[in-house]
Homo-oligomer: A and B are copies of this chain.
Amino acid sequence: MPLVVRNTPRTDLEVVDGLAAAGVATVHEAQGRTGLLRADIRPIFRPARIAGNALTCEVAPGDNWSIHIAVEQAQLGDLLVVTPTSPCDDGYVGDLLAGSLLAHGVRGVVIDAGVRDVATLTEMRFPVWSKVISAKGTVKETPGNVQTPIVCAGAYVRPGDVVVADDDGVVVVPREEAATVLKAARDRNDGELGLDLYHMRGRLADKGVRYVDYTDRS
């Protein structure tokens, strides 16, 4: 029995936009190297960088009915996150649905399945991160859960978690930790990375690294 959860909490858009500015690699690092989606989820055009409140959606294989239900639950600043209930490469989202999502304030889509009409979506600059591009449309026979916690491309995503997506991939930040992670990401961008490089040479001897000159050993 599918479930649609209304009025789920969102993360403040100032925090969301701050995380977008930091970018996926930095956010992932700043929250302790967690929350990354599988690397085969790729943008349909580059460059692209957005963040949004997760609007979650489960779809049956070859069936996008629940995406239409999700559109009704959308709010300004949402990012639609779609996962199929079993692996499926069909093109769940096309230009009509993209237009409808845009009109409801949705900033983009992350989907562990396929997308179609990518020429039009690219012209519209409507960003989609997907596992595959496929011309195969879907039917509307079987609704699925909307705005419940899901696993998308290996990551656990709840409604209102922040999803950040750019050319490097996609990361999810739990709603409760979004402000803290943003602060850590900003500190990190301000130079913490330099520290990583520090003291490395000192540790090489401990690790037993041996430097030798080249002789013919090919």
Write out, one digit per residue, whether chain A residues 24-48 have a CB within 8 A of any chain B CB (1) or not (0): 1100110011101011101000110
Q: How far is the CA of A168 from the CA of B91 in the complex (A)?
A: 9
Q: How far is the CA of A144 from the CA of B91 in the complex (A)?
A: 20
Cross-chain contact A68 with B197 (CB below 8 angstroms): yes
Write out, one digit per residue, whether chain A residues 199-218 have a CB within 8 A of any chain B CB (1) or not (0): 01000100111111110011
Is the C-beta of A116 less than 8 angstroms from some C-beta in chain B? yes
Contact of A118 with B214 at beta-carbon distance under 8 Å, contacts A62-B86, A143-B207 already known: no
Partner of A143 from B135, B143, B156, B204 at Cβ < 8 Å: B204
Is the C-beta of A12 less than 8 angstroms from some C-beta in chain B? no
Q: What are the residues of chain B within 8 A of A14 when measuring CB–CB?
A: none
Least Cβ–Cβ distance between A70 and chain B, in angstroms: 12
Q: How far is the CA of A209 from the CA of B89 in the complex (A)?
A: 25
Partner of A5 from B36, B88, B139, B214 at Cβ < 8 Å: B214
Least Cβ–Cβ distance between A66 and chain B, in angstroms: 9
